[in-house]
Amino acid sequence: MRRVDNPPNPYESAHREWLEPPPPARVEVYEEHARSILSENDSPDIPFRWSCNPYRGCQHACAYCYARPTHEYLGLGAGTDFDTHLVVKVNAAELLAGVFSRPRWQGESVHFSGATDAYQPLEAVYHLTRSCLETCLAHRNPAAVVTKSCLVARDADLLAELNRVAGAQVCVSIPMADAAVSRAVEPQAPPPGRRFEAIRRLAQAGVPVGVLVAPLIPGLNDRDIPEVLQRARQAGARRANFVLLRLPGSVEQVFLERLRQALPLRAGRVEQRLRDARGGRLNDARFGCRMSGAGPYWDSVTRLFDAWRTRLGYDNAAHSGPVSESCDRCTVPAGNPGRKQVQLTLFD
């Protein structure tokens, strides 16, 4: 593990510096009985309303993770604290069952991994995400999963059954084709090869699966687009999309420092390319702008992605049905009035 290293917490009045070299960052797990399990989203940039995060923090330690500032709300740091101080919501499935039993619940799709990866290594021990998906199956409620973990293949049978009765889809995040580059910026995530294998196993089980090239890091993995799309299509992915790197709050400092340490010869190019796509800035938090870029460079990336997506026969309309159409098959509590809202698809 890295040495303890966190940027200043903007919500704390004091920041402490180590007088000696900091100690190694060690994993600490905290079990929490949460009071709620679903987060409601009203951002026009995100195509889903409800997300479920059984864990806080993430062992994958991706330098670019946009969720890092959420740890600062807990009085922790966005750096190594986010990677190692992990919170487990042990009552996640119980809380989700309670939500589905409420009269006002509309049977909308629940998206897993809105903030941190629901299939990070702790899931192999706690099985919280699987328990939540079993709850979705019991209530015939549609679900979608975004993950960069090969552990999702463990639940291929459950996801296939959920898709059959209510609707389910999985999107595997594979931003890089090069295992060495992947190790440099997402050091504890499974290598790309294992993620492609997860796509294969899910597709063979009958689970609608797609690939997400996210984040797309200008000057680093834009050249990987053709290879990632080809390998994912061969494995059985039916949809593909991409999202530009976001660096909100303390993420900017964490990402740039780790990039300079791990890939010093590429760091300058990445920063310049990102500024090219962001109008001279490293981040743009405005709705409608934060997920994509602008300018000649970004236009060329978009054309490259679209060309390969079309050439390989990806059909982004292929997955527009299962989650939204399946809402009529959900088990909605008696006495729930009104028309169900149709959930937007994962990549609209």
Tell me, rounded to whole angstroms, the distance of Cα 20 from its chain centroid.
Answer: 36
In a domain? residue 125: yes
pLDDT single digits (tens) 176-206: 999 999 999 999 999 999 999 999 999 999 9
pLDDT-derived band at 1 (thresholds 50, 70, 90) equals: low
In a domain? residue 158: yes
pLDDT single digits (tens) 213-269: 999 999 999 999 999 999 999 999 999 999 999 999 999 999 999 999 999 999 999
pTM above 0.85, yes or no: yes
pLDDT-derived band at 290 (thresholds 50, 70, 90) equals: confident
Q: Which of 151, 152, 149 is nearest to 186 (CA)?
A: 149
Listed in sequence order, the residues at least 6 apart from 246 whose beta carbon sits closer than 8 Å to its beta carbon are: 64, 66, 215, 283, 290, 291
Q: What is the C-alpha separation between 321 and 208, in angstroms, rounded?
A: 11
In a domain? residue 335: no
In a domain? residue 2: no
222: tokens are 């834009």
Beta bridge partners of 242: 213
State which residues form the domain around 287: 31-317
Cis status, amide bond into 44, omega within 30 of 0: no
Q: What is the C-alpha separation between 283 and 276, in angstroms, rounded?
A: 11
In a domain? residue 39: yes
Q: Which of 340, 46, 326 is nearest to 168 (CA)?
A: 326
pLDDT single digits (tens) 32-53: 999 999 999 877 777 789 999 9
pLDDT single digits (tens) 323-347: 333 334 444 444 443 333 333 344 4
Beta bridge partners of 241: 212
Exposed, middle or buried: residue 120 (CB in 10 Å: 0-12, 13-18, 19+)?
buried
43: tokens are 């951002």
Residue type, 39: S
Q: What is the C-alpha separation between 225 and 307, in angstroms, rounded?
A: 10
In a domain? residue 324: no
* E strands present in the chain: 28-32, 38-40, 50-52, 55-56, 85-89, 110-112, 143-147, 168-173, 209-216, 239-244
Question: Is the per-residue pLDDT at 321 higher than 60?
Answer: no
In a domain? residue 36: yes
3: tokens are 């040495």
The four Cα atoms 196, 197, 198, 203 give a dihedral, to 10 degrees, of 90
Predicted local distance difference test score (pLDDT) of residue 325: 34
Domain tally, the chain: 1
In a domain? residue 280: yes
Q: What is the C-alpha separation between 331 and 321, in angstroms, rounded?
A: 18
The average confidence (pLDDT) of the chain is: 89
Q: What is the CATH number of the domain that holds 62?
A: 3.20.20.70
